[in-house]
Each structure stands twice: as C-alpha cells, then as structure tokens.
Amino acid sequence: MTQENFRNTVNQWLDNNFPDELAHQAPDAADAAQLEIWETWRQRLAEAGWGAPTWPKEYGGAALSHDQATMLREEFSKRGALNHIPILANMGVTMVGPTILDYGTEAQKKKHLPATARGEIAWCLGLSEPNAGSDLASLATKAELAGDQFVINGQKIWTTRAHQSQWCGAVVRTDPSATKHNGISFVMLPMDQDGVEPRLIRLISGSSPFCETFFNDARADKADLLGELNDGWAVVKRLLQHERQSQTGTVKRPSIIQQEPLYERAKRYLQMDEQGRLADADLRTRIAENLMQENAHKLTVARIAAEAAGNPKVSAAASILKNSNTIIRQAQAELTLEIMGSQGLYWESSGDNPGEEELAITREWLQGKSASIVGGTFEVQNNIISKNILGLPETTQKNN
C-alpha cells in the first residue's frame, strides 16, 4: 500500500469512527458524559489495533510498519484525535509491552499484551529506589522463590501512577551473593494485593503521578518472570531503551504549552512591528531556533526508528533522543513564560486571572522540570552517549 493510500485509509476510518466532539480534547474525569464518549472511542481504537499499532495482530496490534505508525500519528494529529490508549496503559504500550515482545514467552504475551493494547490495564514500573536511583543496579528490593511464587520485600520510588495501575514490572534482587549487575531479575506482579502499598508523592506543580511503593511479602507468580532468572539486567537495559524512546516526543500526553505554536502565542501577548513580526528580535530568533531544533529532532527520531526496525540490539541512540527532547520541551516552556510575562506566573485563581490557561501553563512548566530526571537523569544519558557512542573511557566507576 502506498503512503497516499494508507493516509486515505486512516482518514476514512477517522471519518467513520472519531467523535467530532473529542477533537483537540483530553479526557476530563469530572465529565461523566464525555467519559462515555471517550470509552466508545477507546473501543474503536482497540478493535482496529491502533492502541499499539506496530504490535502483531495476535497480541492486539495492527502489524503496522514504523513508517505507517508515524503516518497514523500524523493524520490523528491533524484531526486533533487523541489516541489515549497509551495514556490509559501508562507504561504498558510504550515500555512493558515492547519488552514482553522482546523477552516474553508465548504464554506471557497472550496473557498480558492484548489487554494492554486495548487500554484495559495500566502498568507501572518498580525501578528506582531511595538508595538506588541513577545507579539502578544497586537496588536492594529482594525476591525469594517460594514454590511457584516469588515473595518480594522492599521499596521503590518514583513509580509513575502506581496508585492507578493493575500491574507492575519490578526489577528485584534474586541472588544477593552475586555482583551488583548480576543476580537481578525482572518480575511482573499484580498491584491489587495486600502486600503492595503505593503512596503519592506531592510535587511543587500541585499534582503528581509519582508514588513511593512498598512491598511487604508481595507475591509474583514464577510464570511471570520476564527473561531468565538472575539475568534481568539485560531485560532492564532493553526496557530502559524503550522508556527513553517513549520520552523522545513520539508518544506524549496532551500538553497545553504545545497546543499552540510559540509564534502564535507571541502574537497574542506581545507587540508586533510594522512588518507584522515580533518587535523583540532576540526573542524572535530564539523561537525560530527552537522550532528548527524541534523539526530536526523529529527527523532524527524517524531516522533512528527506521534503522532500529527489527533490530533487538540495545542501542544508545535513545539516550540522544531523550536528552534532545528534554532540552527542546523545557526551552519551549521557558519561552512560553517569557512570552506571557507576569500572566505566566499565576498560581491560583483570582480576580486578576483571565482564565485557566495561565494556571495550567505555570503548572506544566514546573512539572516539565522533572524531564531532566525521569527515565534516567540528563547526566546519566550523557555518560551513556560518551561511552557507547563516542567511545570515551569509563572514569566514574569500575564495571562489575
């Protein structure tokens, strides 16, 4: 099928299935009537396999190529049609599911992937710990095999949406006598059990998806061990590659800052010169530079995705994309606040506040600061780039 024919097929499907009232909208938990429409839209996406479009059809996907998936996202974006299944699944579509495709048994794929691709279950990840953040291999959460189950004890932190997830993919230590990169395993466990307690972490932005999660004799079936026992580091590295890829801008939550191009917002807030340009030439230049960087990033994402298609080898390219996306998005937020001036610094409703846009932008700007940390810190990504791409020597620690 040619690109033009595929785009036509997507648009015909949208004509027949996308509810117009959802255009350029995101789900609002307070609007029950709208949520019913969102549920209908989710079901239609799931039936088409477009919640996880590149996955095989037998696991709930549509078996699209990476190029077709890119075109699908582009046509959805033109309509303002949000594919919210990856958001509903949390880490499921972007991270856990692809790793199950890489390392899972046939039974694990059939058990976990279809419901994830339909957005019927959400996944969180138990990776970082209070004393093992960037140095993930120093984790202390342990799992001991008891019959056909692992018994898990320990604590994880920054577990995104753990309080709303049905399943958790957790990296645990199964052989405490092994060196730190060995003796690690990756297990999948249900969150709805007495031994699992997620607690929300409040952030400066006023809301938070992050939790600290406590495991107290939590249980995971031995059949839900992903990969080989004590060889989970290979699984974790692949999962982290998928995580960084998911943070490059190819999959994203609705953003109020990105809903309007910087130059369009500037026209609303700032003075224009006699030629219809921003009067502030320096700001005009920085907005143009950010736009060029964003377009270059998108082209690089497409190139790297094409090169990686069908190649299971762990690559450091995702670290480049993760950091470049962080730089671009944080710069967009800073430019947005500069454009809005004092109106970009509202914190709560008041008589002087002209609407909710300013409040949302302030909070998103603050929330965006975490992009330098989530998915591996900016500095850790730079270390990966320096060692694995530039070939620079390791100077921070000895390999175990």
Catalytic center residues:
243
Beta bridge partners of residue 146, listed in sequence order? 149
CB count within 10 Å of CB 28 equals 11
Judge contact between 267 and 28, C-beta under 8 A: no
Nearest CA-CA partner of 25 in 38, 10, 12? 38
The answer to whether residues 170 and 190 touch, using CB atoms and an 8 Å cutoff, is no
Neighbour-count burial of 253, counting CB atoms closer than 10 A to its CB (0-12 exposed, 13-18 middle, 19+ buried): exposed
Name the residue among 324, 335, 327 with its Cα closest to residue 263: 335
**Helix %, strand %, coil % for the chain, to 5?**
50, 15, 35
CA distances from 202 to 125, 176, 184, 365, 374 (A): 18, 33, 30, 16, 15
Residue 367 CA neighbour count, 13 Å, CB half: 18
Separation between Cα atoms, residue 19 and residue 22, nearest integer Å? 6
Q: Which one, of 118, 7, 9, lies nearest residue 70 by Cα?
A: 7
Q: How far is CA 73 from the centre of its chain?
A: 15
Burial 333-363 (b: 16+ CB within 10 A, else e): bebbbbbbeebbebeeeeeeeeeebbbebbb
Q: Which two tokens stand for residue 27?
A: 């789900």
